[in-house]
Each structure stands twice: as C-alpha cells, then as structure tokens.
Amino acid sequence: MEKHKEMESEAWMEELLKDKERIIAAIKNSPGLQRRNREAAEMLSKLKPPFPWDDHYAQKKD
C-alpha cells in the first residue's frame, strides 16, 4: 500500500516536473524565500564576537 502510494506520488511529481525549468525559476525567485535569506543575512551580519562557534573553528585549525 505504502509502496503503491509512493509510486503514485513519483508519477505525479514526474508529470509536474515536465515543467521543471519554470518550477526551478519559481523556487529561485520566490519573494518569500528571498526575504528570509535577507533576514538571515542581516541577523548574522549584526553579530559581534566572541562567537559561540569560535572553539569549533579553533579545533578545526589544530
């Protein structure tokens, strides 16, 4: 049953993905995701040291 559902879903996705190029363009150009990327970048750009990951990178260097 589960396997059958999975195959149905795969066939459904394959059908949709005939329009793959336009779907990829829609994903890349999603205003919501672009806004969230900007918010994430902004939040990270405001951080000041010391960072909690400093020791992670120090260990990597050693």
Partner 1 sequence: MNKDTYPFLNLEGDFIYAFVSEGIRGKVLKAVLISPLPYHPEKHFNPLFNLGFGDVVGHDEEWTLDDSVRSGNGDMPKVIATVARIAMEFLRKHPDCALSFQGYIDQKSVLHGKNHRNVLYQRGINSNWPELSVEFTFWGGKAGNFEKYVVGNQYDQILVKIK
Residue bearing tokens 């999603």: 30
CA distance 12 to 9: 5
CA distance 11 to 43: 41
Q: Least distance to partner 1 from the beta carbon of 25, Å? A: 8
Q: Least distance to partner 1 from the beta carbon of 33, Å? A: 4
Q: Interaction with partner 1 in 11-50: which residues (CB under 8 A)?
A: 12-13, 16-17, 19-20, 22-28, 30, 32-33, 36-37, 39-41, 43-47, 49
Site membership for partner 1, residue 56 (CB under 8 A): yes
Residue 49 C-alpha from the chain's centroid: 27
